[in-house]
Amino acid sequence: MSNFRTIGLRVALACATTLAAFAGPVAAQDFSGKNIEWTIPFGVGGGTDVWARFFAPQFSQALPGQPNVVVLNVPGGGSITGANQFATRAKSDGFEILGTSASTQFPAILGDARVRYDYAKWTAVLASPTGGVVYVAPDVGASGPADIETLRSKEIRFAAQSATGLEMPVLLAFEMLGLNIRPVFGMESRGAGRLAFERGEAGIDFQTTPAYLSSVAPLVDSGKAVPLFALGVVNADGSVSRDPSFPDLPTFVEFYQDATGAAPEGEAFQAWKSLMLAGFSLQKMVVVPRDAPADIIGAYNAAAQTIVDAPDFRERAGDELGVYTQLVGADADAALTEALKIDPSVKDYLTNWLKQEFNVSL
């Protein structure tokens, strides 16, 4: 996992005000008058949508000829619907790109029969690590690991996309903690899950860093949500450290240890760490068909580099993307190749767990 860079630099939002920082063309290829269609296989308002709408105007400005970059939301199937559509319809001219997330990667890694896309046919030009936070409604009556018995004593609804999607390591964490969580699957995005939480239809929720900082932090400030733990950062050596975007929140491992008096271990914990490395250390990606012209791919790589190298990038990105290092070009593509590898024993464990707990057959 050496391709995963150490998470630690500041990144985040604020779009249009500093687009002038991008200077001139980044490649010989000219995109003048072109429309770039960026498929996001999730609904509006979730972490991937927030991430894409942060980067879209910057790609428009940084690509030579300043093409119009349009975000197209195609929700369904926990991102499988939109990714399948892209794989089937996208031309190899490079003017159609896809934004993927862990919900896109996990089913591909596990061999989900619904998957019609092949990551080997795509090349990553930008990859964004992320983190996430689990939080509960105030009426649950819990605020930390000391309240584990309160959490265990209640059936708590969780509005989720699918058992094989972005929420998979979160669902595994809930089980390891012995919580009585009732997942309600079928949400179009994590944003839809958050709205269900806000309406009182769910008592526990999870959001990735962009959506948490932009949409959940205000709920916490107003007393409508109580954070329990951040997932944390799983390092290449398997250790877990605090998320730099949430340094004051315990990691899942810290929460588990304080709640149970012992460190997590066993097959479930190994599977959790594998999912975190594959889906969060490398979480959201911009991919282009691998057979697109080399100069087009090169233009995307150069544009991504221009964006992340802008002097004010971290300042603008802070409250939306979190404190993470962005991977660009060859680094992003190499990390993608590594992320798709999973130990056969972990795959077997997850396949059996999904069947037992959620009646999901892959």
pLDDT in tens, 222-240: 999 999 999 999 887 888 9
Residues 288 and 243 in one domain: no
Spatial distance between the Cα atoms of 47 and 209, rounded to a whole number of angstroms: 7
Show which of 278, 293, 321 is a domain's final residue.
278
For 223, the domain range is: 132-278
Residues 299 and 268 in one domain: no
State pLDDT tens for residues 107-134: 898 888 899 999 999 999 999 888 999 9
Nearby residues of 204 by Cβ (< 8 Å), 6 or more positions away: 134, 135, 136, 137, 140, 156, 157, 158, 181, 197
In a domain, 253, yes or no: yes
State pLDDT tens for residues 275-310: 998 888 878 899 999 999 999 999 999 999 999 999
Residues 71 and 161 in one domain: no
Sheet strands (E) in the chain: 35-40, 68-73, 96-100, 122-128, 132-136, 155-159, 180-184, 204-208, 226-230, 233-234, 240-241, 284-289, 327-328
pTM, full prediction: 0.77
In a domain, 68, yes or no: yes
Residues 66 and 120 in one domain: yes
In a domain, 233, yes or no: yes
Spatial distance between the Cα atoms of 188 and 157, rounded to a whole number of angstroms: 17
Residues 243 and 292 in one domain: no
Residues 241 and 155 in one domain: yes
Residues 139 and 116 in one domain: no
Beta bridge partners of 268: none
State pLDDT tens for residues 232-279: 998 878 889 999 999 999 999 999 999 999 999 999 999 999 899 888
Q: What's 235's domain CATH number?
A: 3.40.190.10
**Average pLDDT of the chain?**
88
Residues 267 and 293 in one domain: no
Q: Using DSSP, state whether 137 is helix, strand or coil.
A: coil
CA 242 to chain centre: 17
Spatial distance between the Cα atoms of 14 and 346, rounded to a whole number of angstroms: 39
Residue type for position 6:
T
> What pLDDT does 17 receive?
33
Residues 322 and 223 in one domain: no
Residues 156 and 261 in one domain: yes
pLDDT-derived band of residue 27, with 50, 70 and 90 as boundaries? very low
Domain count, the chain: 2
In a domain, 52, yes or no: yes
Residues 265 and 138 in one domain: yes
Q: What's 289's domain CATH number?
A: 3.40.190.150
Spatial distance between the Cα atoms of 225 and 208, rounded to a whole number of angstroms: 15
Residues 189 and 216 in one domain: yes
**In what helix (H) or strand (E) does residue 207 lie, and over which residues does it extend?**
strand 204-208
Instruction: Tell me which of 8-17, 129-138, 348-357 is least confident.
Output: 8-17
